[in-house]
A and B are shown apart, each in its own frame.
Chain A
Amino acid sequence: MNILKFIETFTDDSLMRSTGSRRDSFNQFGNIGKTLAMASIPFGLSAFANKALAKDITATPATPIGALQFALTLEYLENEFYAMALDSGVIPASENGGRDLKVFQQIAAHESDHVKFLIAGLGGTMSANFVTKPTFDFTVGGAFDPFGDYPTFLALAQAFEDTGVRAYKGQAANLISAPDLLTAALQIHSVEARHASEVRRLRGLKGWISNDERGAGMPSATQAVYNGEGLTMQAGFNTATAFGAAAGSEAYDEPLTTQQVVDIANLFIV
């Protein structure tokens, strides 16, 4: 049984029914096992997960509109992250002969385009389906210094891009009834994957994810982004047989559920 799926059924229900805080949703677990729930909180920052802030985003409905709203919130996050990084000067202009700056300027341009595209797709800022940008804190209350420390910026960029790939993938089924929206989401999904590959390679890693490894130099707090990526059984086919588990797992990226992504994103939302 998929534990995360099990947890999601609880958190989704409580969050969708009310404006309830995360603390409320934890109470739903009662004696089922609070430690189990806490173990699922990404980035290992369980202390922060108890903040139960009213501004936290909640899981969007499993509908095409919900998927677009969910995507927009993620793009808000990425867009602001890269815009702030470029403004802060944390990306050294001389790094790799200027390569890094070119890379992140391109990524920033794409994320900005994605925000505009998704807002338009939701009917514009006056539409009832429009969702506003949350307030982000990329330091997570001071735990990270992404705009003062370049390696931290790179690590978070990798985590956000790899999360983005998994997040869009997890929304595909919600868009199956809306072919045009599905195609657009796929067209963003592959751009996120191109970004992820390049950021990983800038960090000296492979462009693809081996097993469920977050990779050298990634804080242990980012492991939740990679949990589940080590899968080597695909529709009954063992992808590890031919060349081993690392290659088999690299050949497939795995989805994250809406709730798993919400939990990651909420760490950066105040």
Chain B
Amino acid sequence: MSLYRLTLASENAVMVYFEQKMAADIAGLVQQAMPLIRQALGQHLVELLPSYASVLVVFNPFSCDHFAVNALLNKALAALSPNTSASGRRIELPVYYSEQSGPDLALIAKTKQLTIDEVIKLHQQQLYRVYAIGFAPGFAYLGEVAEQLAMPRLASPRAKVPRGAVAIADRQTAVYPAVSPGGWNIIGLCPTPMFQPDNDPAMPVAVGDEVQFVAISKAEFLQLGGEL
């Protein structure tokens, strides 16, 4: 069975689909595919959007067409290896977990019949993979959250989620890079800026990296530049 399939997305875009699941081996395939696609398409490439189990390939329709792009992709993706797991950097992100900084901690604890300390501990226990970056600049989708913590999105999204909010939705977690509306459950605040347009790189994480959350105190949070 092929590791991927190609599907037309638009007049000048192709989706490369892998098995549709949130899993480390699939993330590994996405990561492997990116440089192969970049190299194969060269100047024809306009945009490349990786996600959990797919890569959107946008090409210049004035230099090639679907027929040519599919041929280039098939040739390049023949080099995919199913047994290579993703390799990324490991990045530690500090989190000030508390009822003050995490207004939904109590709700999660109650719903899941856990103590607040158990919720905090469970969130840190997992090593998360950066599966995708999108929705907003610097918004990294991390997975997977422990089954016991999987909380659905809020019934009614908040109009204003603070910058740095560490939040959970189903089996995903993320740090909000900027103040924005949002429906995820907030459990803490991270003082590390997730998107700094004037820095290079602009983000502390990239797709494929692994993230470890580490609890810090309120004093440490403030010392690291966090704002309450």
Are A and B associated in one complex?
no
Which A residues contact B (CB, under 8 angstroms)? Answer: none
